[in-house]
A and B are shown apart, each in its own frame.
Chain A
Amino acid sequence: DAKTTQPTSMDCAEGRAANLPCNHSTISGNEYVYWYRQIHSQGPQYIIHGLKNNETNEMASLIITEDRKSSTLILPHATLRDTAVYYCIVRGNWAGSYQLTFGKGTKLSVIP
């Protein structure tokens, strides 16, 4: 079973920031938080991952709380093409922690 909890769905106005929350209260000290998205049954697309520091790349920012029990994925200027299901996944980075366990994710709808 997935070790994360996400809202089922969210709406965001085009051009605004989309903030997608995730709870992972049972995360262990050496587990990372990964975010993927899936656009209409295409292959999951990697977005970003982090351990405890906030991370930013060309797609998004990841804010992880100090206690690491929750995080927020931020898409700074959402476009219609960002409409997708977003998955928050907790996983280790050591040998033997290979699989990504996908939950139901958050269906983000970007509205014109």
Chain B
Amino acid sequence: EPEVTQTPSHQVTQMGQEVILRCVPISNHLYFYWYRQILGQKVEFLVSFYNNEISEKSEIFDDQFSVERPDGSNFTLKIRSTKLEDSAMYFCASGGRNEINTEAFFGQGTRLTVV
């Protein structure tokens, strides 16, 4: 069964460093998302990406964040200068094989720890 894969599963980084979280969405999906979940809190939407551009983003997704789909298969989230409060599980999701945006399927997440 196709699945969304994320790497690495765990990333530890020093405050102020740049990190790139990687995702391989399900083949033929058209919509791509990043969510995050701070320990013990709700899953929060960060950004959606469709047709090679950001279609929606939340207040969390400020100038420190960027997304890219560099080669048609990978989907990345970059945090330019990490802060302690960026420590969280980051989930990538993909969905929609046609113009109708239906259910999204999530990866198993990358646990980001900023020290």
Interface: A49 (CB within 8 A):
yes
Which of A44, A45, A98, A104 contacts B101, CB < 8 Å? A98
Looking at the complex, which of A21-29, A35-43, A67-75 is the stretch in contact with chain B? A35-43
Residues 88-103 of chain B: 1 if any A CB is under 8 Å from the residue's CB, otherwise 0? 0101010000011111
Which of B33, B89, B103 contacts A98, CB < 8 Å? B33
Interface: B107 (CB within 8 A):
yes
> What is the bound-complex CA distance between A4 and B70, given in angstroms?
37
Minimum Cβ distance to chain B for residue A88 (Å): 13
Residues 59-88 of chain A: 1 if any B CB is under 8 Å from the residue's CB, otherwise 0? 000000000000000000000000000010
Q: With A38-B43, A102-B42 as given contacts, are A46 and B56 in contact (CB-CB < 8 Å)? A: no
> What is the bound-complex CA distance between A101 and B58, given in angstroms?
11
- A94 CB contacts on chain B under 8 angstroms: 101
Looking at the complex, which of B14-22, B44-52, B76-84 is the stretch in contact with chain A? B44-52
Which of A44, A95, A104 contacts B99, CB < 8 Å? A95
| Number of B interface residues in the complex (CB < 8 A) | 28
Q: With A98-B33, A98-B55, A102-B44 as given contacts, are A93 and B106 in contact (CB-CB < 8 Å)? A: no
Which residues in window 53-91 of B have CB below 8 A to A?
55-56, 58, 89, 91
Q: With A43-B106, A43-B107, A93-B101 as given contacts, are A98 and B56 in contact (CB-CB < 8 Å)? A: yes
Given A49-B102, A95-B101, 8 more A-B residue pairs with CB atoms under 8 Å apart are A41-B89, A43-B108, A44-B93, A46-B103, A94-B101, A95-B55, A100-B45, A102-B43
CB within 8 Å of A: which residues of B?
4, 31, 33, 35, 37, 42-45, 48, 50, 55-56, 58, 89, 91, 93, 99-109
**CB-defined A-B contacts under 8 Å, sample of 6:** A41-B89, A41-B109, A42-B109, A46-B106, A98-B33, A101-B45
